[in-house]
Amino acid sequence: MKYTIFIITFILLTASVAAQCTDSDGGKNKYELGTVTEQEEIFSDTCEEENIQEYFCSVEGVASYTLLPCVNGCLDGACQLANEVPKAAAPEEETDSNIKLYFYTFIILLTLGIYIYIFKWKKKKKRY
């Protein structure tokens, strides 16, 4: 019994230490240069042309990043604010969820088409 409590405590402490992640700009804040620290590794927000590679701590406590558009440009790891009209709207990237939606829509329409062909049109042809 003593060893079971010791093992459970050790596992819980190890898991909490392993999941430590801090973000200096408080999450997905593309207008402020931030750094994410996870177990002695440091990741900084960086500009990727007109977009920003924004680092943040995920729900699991792991350093992650996403690519966000900067309408007024990116400079030194932060999107620029401007009082003027934006240069242009950044195109949205097609995400996996959009691709899945198109795939499932295609499958449903294909199934519906096959159903109509087999059970509706073929029955009409047999009657004549």
Query: Is the pLDDT confidence value at 46 over 90?
Result: yes
User: Which pLDDT tens digit goes with each residue over 23-40?
Assistant: 998 888 999 999 999 988
Tokens 């795939």 belong to residue = 103
What is the reported pLDDT for 6?
A: 45
Confidence at residue 53, expressed as pLDDT on a 0 to 100 scale: 95
% the chain with pLDDT above 70? 66
| Lowest pLDDT segment from 4-8, 96-100, 117-121 | 4-8
For 75, the token pair is 């400079």
Q: Which two tokens stand for residue 1?
A: 């019994």
Question: CA 98, CA 104: separation in Å to the nearest integer?
Answer: 10
CA distance 76 to 74: 7
- Quick check: 56 pLDDT over 50? yes
What is the pTM (predicted TM-score) of this model? 0.50
Q: How far apart are CA 38 and CA 77, in angstroms?
A: 19
**Per-residue model confidence (pLDDT) at position 110:** 92
pLDDT tens track for 90-110: 555 555 667 777 888 899 999
pLDDT at position 97 is 63
Dihedral pair phi/psi, residue 111, rounded to 5°: -60, -45
